[in-house]
Amino acid sequence: MTPERLARINTMLDKRQPDLTVCMEGLHKSHNLAAVVRTCDAIGISDVHAVWKSEEAEVRGGSAAGSQNWIDVHNYHKTADAIAALKAQGMQVLVTNLSDTAVNFTEIDYTKPTAIILGQEKFGTSEEALELADQHIVIPMVGMVQSLNVSVACSVVLYEAQRQRAAAGMYDQPRLSNERRQRTLFEGGHPIFAEACQRKGLPYPEIDEAGQIVADEKWWQKMQMNKKAWQHLDD
């Protein structure tokens, strides 16, 4: 890993917001998720959640959508499971929906741990999501259409969250765990070795301040062998 690449990755990781996330509900096309993931990366989000319309849709689109080195995509088959996971992390769960209880999206305090649920463009969010969410939010519109493209709506809300968090100084200090930083440095800075670790079942090594791999001789030997040849090393 070059010093320039190490510096760029560390700068990105220093801005990550582990308590801000998006949950896409009812997904059946991977390109919709990919567009949202791209915006999330730009905002500094480290995790995205996806509730797939079917197992077939997840198999078809999940691996491609989750292939980015910089964001983890967490997949679900049930909306309730996704929301339970988000609330277990202490997130306030918001859902975009035009209802009597909805508030302007700018009235929300996004400096709190926050998850934003976005539904399908055609059908919107499910009744289950609307019921389980803590607050409905709307993006004011004065034209003839009543909704934005889902990735556009995501961008509008997230940039308001970024504005508030930047004003509160939440981008000024690193907030990502060291474990997550180490994993991302290895996967993003040494992708060939990372793929080999995943394929062989090897643990990830530590990455030092210069971006180099810190591992003992046995790890390097296993990296060069197939798994069947490891036995004598562990005896």
Contacts of 156 (CB under 8 A, 6+ apart): 105, 139, 148
Q: Which residues pair with 22 in a beta bridge?
A: 48, 116
Q: In what order do the strands lie in the sheet with 103-104?
A: 72-76, 47-52, 20-27, 114-118, 92-96, 135-138, 103-104
All residues at 6 or more sequence positions from 93 whose CB lies less than 8 Å from its CB, including other chains: 83, 86, 87, 115, 117, 132, 133, 134, 135
CA angle 6, 110, 122 (to 5 degrees): 95
Picking from 28, 46, 78, 39, the residue whose alpha carbon sits closest to that of residue 174 is 46
The answer to whether 11 is annotated as binding is no
- Residue 148 assigned to a binding site: yes
Would you give the distance in Å from CA 95 to the centre of its chain? 17
Q: What is the C-alpha to C-alpha distance for residues 231 and 59, in angstroms, rounded to an integer?
A: 34
Report whether 70 contacts 125 (CB < 8 A): no
Amino acid at 97: N
Of 136, 47, 105, nearest to 36 by C-alpha is 47
Kind and range of the H or E run holding 162: helix 150-167
Judge whether 139 is annotated as a binding position: yes
- Residue numbers in the known binding site for S-adenosyl-L-methionine are 96, 139, 148
- Residue numbers in the known binding site are 96, 139, 148
